[in-house]
C-alpha cells in the first residue's frame, strides 16, 4: 500500500511539474492524485471506518484554507471590478528609469502583503503594459514585479498561499511573521533593485499614464474609493478578528466578504440590472481562479494521505539524520520551490514536523515561509506570480533565467542570511 501511494503521488507530482509539456491543467492532475491516494489507502486498509474518520479530520483543516482563499479572492475581484486598484497605480507618473524601478518594487512589495502575490502581479503588469512601450524594459520590470510580489507575500499572513497555510495551521502567528520576516523580505527586494539599477539609466519610452487599468471605467471615483478602502480594510481586519475572537481566519474573511457584499448591493441598488451586474459578488465569483482552488484541494488531500499513513514522519526522520541542520534543510526546500510548486512542499513540511517538534512561531516555520515564498522567484515557473507574468508578457524562460534569475537568487540568499543573523544575534 505504502509503495502504491508513493508511486501515485510521485506520478501526480510529475504531471503537475510538467503541466505545460503535457498540456494537462495541474488542477486536474492534483485532484486525481489526491482522490486516488485516498482510494488506495482505504482499499488496502482493514479498518475502513478509521480511514473515513481520518479523511473527515483532514478535511476539517483543509476546508479552512479553501474557504479563506475563496473569500479573499472574491474580495480582491470585487475591488478590481470597481477599478479600485487604478486609484493606487495612477499615481505612478515618473519617466526616470531608476525612480520607476524603486517605485514599482516598493508598491508591489507592500501591495502583495495586503492582497496576494498573484493578484498584485496581475495588477502591476497590467500597469506596466500601459506605461512602458519598450518590450525589454517592460520584461525587466516584470521580473522585478515577480521578485517584489513574492518577497512582499512572504512576510504577511495573507500575502501568499503558503503563509496562509502556515497561519491557519497555527505554525505561525500574524504579528510574529510580520516582525521576523519584514526585514529579510525587504532585503530580498532591495538587493535585486540595486543590482538592476545599473541597467536602468535615463528615461523610459512612456505611453499614456492616464489610462485606467481596464479601459474606460464605469465606476465613479467615490465608488472606487469606497470599495478599495473597505476591501483593504476587511483583508487587514482578518488577523485582528482572529486575535480577538480566537476563531479561525476563514471566519474573519467570510465576515468581511459578507459585509462588503451588503455594502456594494446598497451602492448599486438603484441602478438597472444591466449596469449593476458586473459589480456584484456573483460576477466576482465567476472571475476568481477556481482551478487554483481545486489544485490546492487536490495537493493538500494527497499530502494528507502521506501524513495519515506515517510516510511524512519517516521522511522527516530521514532528513534529520542525513542533514541535521534546519537552516540547510529549509534553504534546500526554498531552492527546490523554484522548480516545484511551493504549496505541496509546505504541506509536506507541515506533515513531517508537527507542533510538538517545532512549536508555534518557532524560527523553523518563519524561515520556511521566507524560503518557499521567495525561492520561487529564481525561475519564472517557480511561483504563481512568475507564471502569471510569463503568460501575460510571453516572457521567455531562458531570458528570465539569464537576466533575472541570478538577481532573484542574490536577493533570496541575502534575505536568508539576514534572517539567520537576525535570529542568531537578536533572537528574532
Q: Is residue 53 part of a domain?
A: no
**Distance separating alpha carbons of residues 268 and 272, to the nearest angstrom:** 9
Q: Is the pLDDT higher at 392 or at 138?
A: 138
Q: Is residue 154 part of a domain?
A: yes
**Domain of residue 333, residue span:** 58-426
> Average pLDDT for residues 32-37, to the nearest whole number?
92
**Distance separating alpha carbons of residues 56 and 86, to the nearest angstrom:** 43
Which of 369, 398, 346 minimizes the C-alpha distance to 143? 398
Under the banding of pLDDT at 50, 70 and 90, the label for residue 209 is very low
Number of domains making up the chain? 1
- pLDDT > 70 in the chain, percent: 92
> Average pLDDT for residues 262-273, to the nearest whole number?
85
**Beta partners for 206?**
132
Q: Is residue 44 part of a domain?
A: no
Q: Is the pLDDT higher at 292 or at 255?
A: 255
137 pLDDT above the threshold of 70: yes
211 pLDDT above the threshold of 50: no
**pLDDT at res. 217:** 55
Highest mean pLDDT among 168-182, 202-216, 295-309, 382-396 belongs to 168-182
**pLDDT at res. 390:** 77
* Whether this model's pTM surpasses 0.85: no
* DSSP H helices in 18-47: 19-22, 26-43
**pLDDT at res. 213:** 44
Under the banding of pLDDT at 50, 70 and 90, the label for residue 178 is very high
Q: Is residue 24 part of a domain?
A: no
> Average pLDDT for residues 30-58, to the nearest whole number?
89
409 pLDDT above the threshold of 90: yes
Mean pLDDT for the chain overall? 84
Q: Which of 29-33, 150-154, 310-314, 342-346 has the lowest mean pLDDT?
A: 310-314
Q: Is residue 35 part of a domain?
A: no
Please identify which residue in the block is written with the cell numbers 500574524: 174
Is residue 370 within 8 Å of 184, Cβ to Cβ? yes
**pLDDT at res. 319:** 66
User: How many H helices and E strands in the chain?
Assistant: 22, 0
Q: Is residue 47 part of a domain?
A: no
Under the banding of pLDDT at 50, 70 and 90, the label for residue 408 is very high
Q: Is the pLDDT higher at 36 or at 297?
A: 36
Q: Is residue 39 part of a domain?
A: no
Q: Is residue 303 part of a domain?
A: yes
Amino acid at each position: 500500500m505504502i509503495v502504491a501511494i508513493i508511486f501515485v503521488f510521485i506520478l501526480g507530482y510529475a504531471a503537475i511539474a510538467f503541466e505545460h509539456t503535457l498540456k494537462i491543467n495541474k488542477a486536474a492532475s492534483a485532484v486525481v492524485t489526491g482522490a486516488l491516494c485516498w482510494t488506495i489507502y482505504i482499499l488496502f486498509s482493514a479498518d475502513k471506518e478509521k480511514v473515513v474518520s481520518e479523511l473527515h479530520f483532514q478535511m476539517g483543516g483543509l476546508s479552512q484554507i479553501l474557504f479563506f482563499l475563496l473569500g479573499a479572492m472574491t474580495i480582491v475581484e470585487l475591488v478590481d471590478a470597481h477599478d479600485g486598484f487604478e486609484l493606487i497605480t495612477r499615481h505612478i507618473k515618473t519617466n526616470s528609469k531608476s525612480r520607476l524601478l524603486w517605485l514599482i518594487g516598493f508598491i508591489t512589495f507592500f501591495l502583495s502583503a495586503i492582497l496576494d502575490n498573484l493578484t498584485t502581479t496581475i495588477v502591476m503588469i497590467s500597469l506596466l503594459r500601459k506605461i512602458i512601450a519598450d518590450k525589454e524594459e517592460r520584461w525587466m520590470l516584470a521580473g522585478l514585479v515577480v521578485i517584489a510580489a513574492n518577497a512582499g507575500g512572504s512576510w504577511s499572513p495573507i500575502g501568499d498561499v503558503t503563509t496562509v497555510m502556515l497561519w491557519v495551521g497555527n505554525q505561525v502567528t500574524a504579528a510574529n511573521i510580520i516582525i521576523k520576516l519584514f526585514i529579510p523580505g525587504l532585503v530580498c527586494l532591495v538587493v535585486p533593485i540595486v543590482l538592476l539599477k545599473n541597467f536602468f539609466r535615463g528615461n523610459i519610452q512612456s505611453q499614456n499614464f492616464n489610462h485606467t487599468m481596464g479601459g474606460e471605467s464605469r465606476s465613479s471615483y467615490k465608488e472606487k474609493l469606497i470599495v478599495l478602502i473597505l476591501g483593504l480594510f476587511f483583508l487587514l481586519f482578518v488577523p485582528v478578528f482572529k486575535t480577538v475572537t480566537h476563531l479561525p481566519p476563514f471566519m474573519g474573511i467570510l465576515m468581511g466578504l459578507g459585509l462588503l457584499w451588503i455594502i456594494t448591493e446598497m451602492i448599486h441598488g438603484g441602478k438597472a440590472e444591466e449596469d449593476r451586474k458586473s459589480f456584484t459578488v456573483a460576477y466576482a465569483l465567476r472571475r476568481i481562479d477556481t482551478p487554483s482552488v481545486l489544485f490546492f484541494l487536490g495537493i493538500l488531500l494527497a499530502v494528507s494521505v502521506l501524513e495519515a499513513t506515517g510516510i511524512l514522519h519517516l521522511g522527516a526522520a530521514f532528513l534529520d539524520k542525513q542533514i541535521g541542520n534546519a537552516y540547510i534543510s529549509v534553504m534546500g526546500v526554498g531552492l527546490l520551490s523554484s522548480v516545484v510548486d511551493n504549496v505541496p512542499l509546505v504541506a509536506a513540511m507541515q506533515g513531517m514536523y508537527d507542533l510538538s517538534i517545532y512549536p508555534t512561531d518557532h524560527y523553523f516555520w518563519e524561515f520556511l515561509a521566507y524560503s518557499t515564498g521567495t525561492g520561487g522567484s529564481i525561475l519564472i515557473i517557480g511561483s504563481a506570480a512568475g507564471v502569471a507574468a510569463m503568460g501575460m508578457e510571453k516572457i521567455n524562460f531562458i531570458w528570465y533565467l539569464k537576466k533575472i534569475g541570478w538577481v532573484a537568487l542574490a536577493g533570496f540568499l541575502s534575505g536568508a542570511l539576514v534572517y539567520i543573523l537576525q535570529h542568531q544575534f537578536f533572537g528574532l
